[in-house]
Structure 1
Amino acid sequence: MEDLQSMSEYRLLAQRIGLIGLANVLVNLSGIFLLPILTKSLPVEDYGVWAQVNVTISLASVVICLGLSASMVRFMAAASSREEIQECFYSILAVVMLTGISAMLLIFCLAEPIARALFNGNVAVTRALSVIVFVEAMNGLLFSYYRATQRMKLYAIFSVAVVYITIVLAYCFVKLGYGVYGAVLGLGIAKLIGFVFMLTMLLQQIGFRIPSFLHLLEYVSFGIPLFSSYLFDWIVNSSDRYIIGMLLGTVWVGYYNPGYLLGSLITVFISPIGTVLPITLYRYYDCGDIKSVEKLLGFTIKYFLALAIPSVFGLTLLSKPMLFMLSTPDIAEHSYLITPFIALSMVLVGIASILSNAIYIAKKTAISMKISLIAAIINLTLTLLLVSMAGVVGAAVATFFTFFFIFIATNYFANMFIQIKFDYEFMLKSFVASLVMSIPLILWPPSGFIEILRIIAVSIIIYLQAIWLLRGINKEEIRFIKSLLNL
């Protein structure tokens, strides 16, 4: 009976990860779809401004939310009544609204100096940004609510809808001649539409009440260390665009960002895991079922690597032809060398993000904060040094070494709380299968959309056949996967 219950839990988890995985594939591909719209319609420096806007939105969201989105997921997941959910959501909402309005007014009032420093002097973009950061912070809380209450279908629908509405509106405004301001305006309108619909659905589900703030101190105590971690993570993940912009100019941000975007496609395998897995792990850990936690983490790492390792090979070898297709020859020549370093970095950060769950479920968030702090210092130092020496490729190299440190440190501390085993034999088999898969990519480099799609399909088939012949996945695991998928 217990095995059947566990299998049911695993199947539900797999279905949710699959749903969020599909949504994240569509979300990440939206960046690829938007790339040719912007790079082929705007000057390179304006595309650099667009990249800076998105980096700034992510920074502002971190600062405004103060780590309380994570608190909402952690504490609302354990709520057993509508009143507890209301208290948690509206207590956190009140705090974030206060910080969000403050940030919005500050950016609006300082629009001119901020525009000169970051956005090539575009004050209109900066003022539009001031409103967007507030809306984005509210959306972050709403997404956390849908995630914590495990309404994954709504989470997926809203995630995909916002980014594709952005594509449509940005395309329309750019084609109408509004330039990069039009693209930013389309982004803001799309996020506002998402906010209205998500808030309406939430009010229908839980209603409204004035919170008593009884547990606010607990929420803040959990969230503040994570706020620091998120801020340091932003430095690691995004500050390179700021440094490139300040040292080399927004044109070089425009050269750097497409290669980074392509390498970051590996995050499509990370995001669904990070969205769904922690909630299940919290429940097992709080019930004292450590073995299930260890098993889930081990399986998750293995299957993440089964997808991520061949993706690194494929993205590295296809980077140049894909960037020629998606952007301009000038951008492709400057950007394709960025992709392999970022792809490798994303594999490391993917493993680290899975391992970090062992730290979070033990509520030792201060450890993550310290790791992120040291990583931020390493990243800033290396990026400043290497960008000065090697340009944008130096920034990509700095990112790789920073994520390598994060992986080593997270693995060390995670194993203090949960014993996590790496399947090194499988990793070697996946590496060999990826080498075999790379042969047609090297022998017949594609050019054009159809050829790229054809060679990707062939490579996937070769990899799957190779991993099967190498017995990378045994019959027991195949039966387990089939049972999860209810086949």
Structure 2
Amino acid sequence: MDKYKKLISNTMIFAIGTFSSKVLVFLLMPLYTRVLNNADYGVVDLIIQTGNLLIPIVSVGIINAVVRFGLDDSTSKSDVFSTGFITILCGFTALVLFQPLLAKVPYMSQHTILIYLFVFMACMRSLCSQFTRAKGYVRLYAFDGVLSTITTIIFNILYLVVFQWGIVGYVMAIFTADFLSVIFLFTSAKLYRYIRFKGISRLTVSSMLRYCIPLIPTTMFWWIMNVSDRYIVSHVLGSEANGLFAVSYKVPTIVNLISTIFIDAWQISAFTEQTQLARERFFTKVFRTYQSLLFTAGSGLILFAKLITKLLVSDAFYASWEYIPFLVMATTFSCMVTFLGTVYMTEKKSVFALATTAIGAGINICLNLILIPRYGVNGGAFATFISYFVVFLLRAVHTRKYIKIRWNVFKMLFNTSMLMIQSLILINEIPYWIWYEIGLTVIMIITNLGAILVALQKIVGQHLKRAQ
């Protein structure tokens, strides 16, 4: 199958599973914002984000290695899955031993058991689902995404509406859905056949650990750029302000949705080219279409930020719309940073992924401490955008050492400037803002539509050529 056609085919399949899980955020927003008040939602958000910080530590980042080495035909799949499984068990055991210490951490003392349940089952589900994807069972991977979405909705209604468990119900709904997903994948993909505790290749174990260990701090730094502002907002402005901020993060998930669907398929296709020149052409063409989609989607989200917020959340959370524009910009560049991370993944240069992310995390914390006390919640949103923007610039320059992507610098600057203008217009609600937003969105579509259409034309043309 042609590399572009295969990429599109996998993207469509992953879209089925990923879209359902991502759209879950929007389906449940009306429920969350009506069952939980601003303060409770702020606490729930910190519980989940604390768990997300612990996941790469407990798993030693092994999920990244499971994907990378699972895609390598020369590596035993049993060695890969067994290494991941044993690593997670050992990491969680260590976490249990540290329970007395972790119980003293703010936001954990009252919810330690919930966080432990969330972390363990999230690690196991990631292991099973990502290994299934690496094995090439893309349809099963997609179906699991749909199934997980359905069960999560059911358990949220059951725990939050029927049982009225509040914060506990929110976390337990995620835990129960993840547990059922693990059982489903273990049986349907017969993952139990890949577990063994003896005879595992030491070379595979050492190679996987050398690859993933530098990614532990990398993931933690990613977490800092995504979440540190929420802790500082909660500390400086209170849980209610953080509740609004947490809600505003959900809308840019639409941009992240486009990225996640594509990246899942892209990570499989990125290894197909063997010659350097062919690889550079492939990366360049794909990125130009990718960034056009991201900027166009981001522009549309800023235009409809108020409307989306009005439809999705209760009146108590409506004010969260004003934090969406800068978060959309941050998410757009976060997605492009992830794309460039594929270069490091392809070359197995995880140390450089760590270095660039560490710089971004440092910038993020410094700007949060400066901007949030002075400008409030939007100071944190702007700090997140700047940190991702800097990481993108660093990776855009450094990855040329391995793959020389040909950048259209003028178009990138134009698209970024357009999003910034849209953000400032909406946040400040200048007179006739809606007409300015519509006009700027139309310009953004016209500017980026060409790259999208060229890609579609190429795919359709190749398909017709093969059909003849």
TM-score bin, normalised by smaller chain: 0.7 to 0.9
Q: Which residue of 1 aligns with 2:428?
A: none
Distance of aligned partners of 1:380 and 1:317 in 2 relative to their CA distance in 1, 3 Å threshold: same
**Counterpart amino acid of 1:203?**
K
Q: What is aligned with 2:393?
A: 408
2:72 counterpart SS class: coil
* Equivalent AA in structure 2 for residue 338 of structure 1: Y
Aligned to 1:63: 57
Partner residue in 1 for 2:376: 391
Partner of 1:263: 252
Q: Identify the range of structure 1 (191-200 vs 392-401) with the bigger mean alpha-carbon deviation.
A: 191-200
Q: Tell me the alpha carbon deviations over residues 340-368 of structure 1, each in whole angstroms, 9 at most, x when there is no partner.
A: 11111111122222122222222221111
1:223 aligns with 2:223: no
Q: Which amino acid aligns with 2:327?
A: I
Q: Which amino acid aligns with 1:55?
A: Q
1:158 pairs, out of 127, 144, 152, with: 144
Paired residues, what number?
Answer: 454
> 1:473–1:20: structure 2 CA closer, same or farther, 3 Å change rule?
closer
- Identity fraction in percent: 21
Q: Which residue of 2 aligns with 1:11?
A: 5
State the AA in 1 paired with 2:124.
M
**Residue in 1 that maps onto 2:234:** 245
Matched, 1:281 2:277: no
Distance (Å, rounded) in 2 between the aligned partners of 1:207 and 1:465: 47
Partner of 1:261: helix, strand, or coil?
Answer: coil
CA contact (8 A) 2:60 2:213 kept: yes
SS in 2 for 1:422: coil
Secondary structure in structure 2 of the residue aligned to 1:324: helix
Match of 2:403 in 1: 418
Cα deviation code 1:18-71 (max 9, x no counterpart): 221343222222111111101112211111122122212221211112121111
Contact 1:297 1:354 in 2 (8 A): no
Relative to structure 1, the CA distance from residue 22 to residue 299 in structure 2 (aligned partners, 3 Å threshold; closer, same or farther) is: farther
Structure 1, residues 107-129: CA drift from partner, whole Å, max 9, x if none? 4x567534xx226x7x3x43222
2:23 match: 29
Kept in 2, the 8 Å contact 1:67–1:226? The answer is yes
Which of 258, 267, 285 pairs up with 1:299?
285
1:145 aligns with 2:145: no
**Equivalent residue, structure 2, for 1:369:** 354
What is the CA distance between 1:193 and its match in structure 2?
0.8
The CA distance in 2 between the partners of 1:24 and 1:478, in whole Å, is 21
Q: Deviations over 1:285-338 (max 9, x none)?
A: xxx3223322222122222222221222221122122212221333222x1121
Q: Which amino acid aligns with 1:180?
A: I
Structure 2 counterpart of 1:268, which letter? L
Q: State the partner residue of 2:315.
A: 329
Aligned residue identity for 2:123: A
What is the distance in 2 between the residues matched to 1:471 and 1:159? 32
Pair 1:348-2:340 in alignment: no
C-alpha distance in 2 between matches for 1:346 and 1:162: 24
Q: Deviations over 1:205-229 (max 9, x none)?
A: 8454334341211111111111221
Structure 2: distance between partners of 1:171 and 1:161:
16
What residue ranges of structure 2 are gaps of 5+ in the alignment?
A: 426-431
Greater shift in the superposed pair: 420-429 or 407-416? 420-429
| 8 Å Cα contact 1:128/1:184 also seen in 2 | yes
Shift in alpha-carbon separation, 1:366–1:165, aligned structure 2, 3 A: same
Greater CA deviation, 222-231 or 153-162?
153-162
Structure 1 residue 395 displacement after superposition: 0.8
In the alignment, structure 1 residue 193 sits paired with structure 2 residue 180: yes
Residue type of the partner of 1:479? Q
Shift of 1:411: 0.5
User: Could you say which residue in structure 2 is the equivalent of 1:449?
Assistant: none
Contact 1:90-1:211 within 8 A present in 2 as well: no
Calculate the aligned-residue CA RMSD, in Å.
3.2
Moved more, 131-140 or 349-358: 349-358
What's the CA shift for 1:467?
5.6
Normalised to the residue count of structure 2, the TM-score between the two structures is: 0.87
C-alpha contact (below 8 Å) 2:20/2:145 kept by paired residues: no
Going from structure 1 to structure 2, the CA distance change for 1:467 and 1:183 (only over 3 Å counts) comes to same
Q: Determine if contact 1:297/1:420 at 8 Å carries over to the other structure.
A: yes
